[in-house]
Amino acid sequence: MKILRMNSIVAVIVILAVFTTFFSMNGIKVDARWKDHSTGYYSEKYRPQFHFTSEKNWMNDPNGLVFYKGKYHMFYQYNPYGNKGGNTSWGHAVSKDLVHWKHLPVALKPDKLGMIFSGSIVVDKHNTSGLFKAKSGGLVAIYTSAGDTQQQSIAYSTNEGKTWTKYKGNPVLPNPGIKDFRDPKVIWYEKEKKWVMILAAGDHVRFYSSKNLREWKYMSKFGENEGAHGGVWECPELFILPVNGDPNNTKWVLQVDINPGAVAGGSGGQYFIGEFDGIKFVNDHPPDEIRWVDYGKDFYATQTWFNTKNREIWIAWMNNWEYAESIPTHPWRGAMSLPRELTLKTFPGEGIKLVQTPVKELQRIEQNPYKWKNKRINPGKNVLSDISGKTIEITAEFELGSASEFGFKVRKGKNEETIIGYDAVRNQLFVDRTNSGQDQFNKQFAGKHMATLHPVDNRIKLHIFVDHSSVEVFGNNGEIVITDQIFPDPSSEGLELFAKNGDVLLISLTVNKLESIWQKNK
């Protein structure tokens, strides 16, 4: 009996000790599991831990995104021989959950028509192309052959994308005399049972149709006088989504990248909402209204996965052509963003907007959540001083108070920090990387990027992902997104919750450590 009582006292003491190690009255205490253990594979300085990077060499746009036989395929612009653009091929990786990736051999290599520039992949399940022996068809890649001119070519695969055969009749869409004529994205237009290609052509996009993926007919063009035109248009996208989840009310989204001339400088994405009737796209909004996809500097060449049924998911190259070839990473150069799920939502006074949220599959790598509720935050005291890390996810909701600015300082070190905050005077969400770490490699890199975000019921929600060399910030459930690379010293791991010139009410806060996606991939 006595022994039993002793045991339970010991147990209570142990539980209390563990509990108090986690939490204290003034701040949140952290245990040893939060320490970084990254050694070995994928542990180089700045190496992203939960974002996709190739093992080595240069990578840019995601290409040929397709869900097929239970796997998400990701191809990407890749230089197998160097850490700058060139020898452009299609690298290949595959994932069962959009989070953990397995590297596969290079899929498409340059040929006499040129390098393999960006493009897409479709599942030709009824063998419309006639390229497959089996009735069940296979995968067809539609890409730009970039040689003396840019033209569109196709290749097909009968073994789930492992190996590819280039079509003998390439190019399937020769160059009509337009210098920039590239990045075909092909979709299946069910109503007329035909393939539709959207293609970037300098300062506009063009639409083509085909019954067999081999012969293409010009249909229409869009954009010469619409949206932003500070640079060339690249990598277009076209998809349909329900508005506010209502399947009877759908809208088409046309996304196109621009380089340079984007909102934060250099390259970035813009989108249009409207109608597509199988032939042409009509913008619902005035031609000079510009809708930016992301307000940071590092979200480019985004593409959606083909064949994901009722989910629309995209991923982007987390980089900017302004400095992409000089970012200080080695032996890889270039990372992908997190995959994001897309919806359309109506906002009072603003109409319909594209909303992006990180895919729910990311919950698989969340570890050790610290949760907190209802705490008034005042200037001067960092209640998160016990939490630190290089791979963290923060979910927070604030009720505005007298503070003119509040938010988080992440990857904080002696002389550097990245500020992710809300400016309550200007109603702006921002990421300030002016003092975030190494930025000498390019004059355009340091800076502050912001976007208007209105509080809802006087509240602001932030969902933040911090990795070894990036931050992705989703404001108010993905109404606004800011994606920026940062290159802080590995020792800069501090985290601060701040309020400036007044207070703010922290309604709720969850901080997770995110597990590396690469450890198991050795």
Footprint of ligand FRU (CB under 6 A): 60-61, 77, 85, 88, 117-118, 144, 182-183, 234-235, 301
Least distance CB 202 / ligand FRU (angstroms): 11
Least distance CB 63 / ligand FRU (angstroms): 8
Facing residues of 460 across strands?
Answer: 398
Least distance CB 183 / ligand FRU (angstroms): 5
Least distance CB 386 / ligand FRU (angstroms): 42
Tokens of 311: 């989910």
Nearest to 345 by CA among 452, 461, 244, 454: 244
Tokens of 162: 């492992």
* Phi, psi of 247, deg, nearest 5: -65, -15
Minimum CB distance to ligand FRU smaller for 322 or for 416? 322
Least distance CB 449 / ligand FRU (angstroms): 19
Tokens of 283: 């913008």
- Regarding beta strands 57-68 and 332-333, do their DSSP bridges make them parallel or antiparallel, or are they unpaired? parallel
C-alpha span between 133 and 419 (Å, rounded): 56
Minimum CB distance to ligand FRU smaller for 213 or for 301? 301
Minimum CB distance to ligand FRU smaller for 77 or for 476? 77
Minimum CB distance to ligand FRU smaller for 73 or for 182? 182
Minimum CB distance to ligand FRU smaller for 114 or for 475? 114
Least distance CB 522 / ligand FRU (angstroms): 29
Catalytic residue among 36, 61, 246, 457: 61
Least distance CB 145 / ligand FRU (angstroms): 11
Whether 457 sits among the annotated catalytic residues: the reply is no
* Number of residues written out for the chain: 522
C-alpha span between 502 and 482 (Å, rounded): 25
Nearest to 423 by CA among 376, 467, 392, 462: 462
514 neighbors 391 (Cβ within 8 angstroms): yes
Tokens of 300: 């480019």
336 neighbors 52 (Cβ within 8 angstroms): yes
Facing residues of 221 across strands?
Answer: 206
Which residues, at least 6 apart from 427, have a Cβ–Cβ distance to it below 8 Å? 452, 453, 454, 455
Minimum CB distance to ligand FRU smaller for 120 or for 388? 120
Using omega within 30 degrees of 0 as the cis cutoff, is the peptide bond preceding 260 cis?
Answer: yes
Minimum CB distance to ligand FRU smaller for 182 or for 390? 182
Query: What's the DSSP call for residue 516?
Result: P
C-alpha span between 348 and 345 (Å, rounded): 10
Active-site residue set: 61
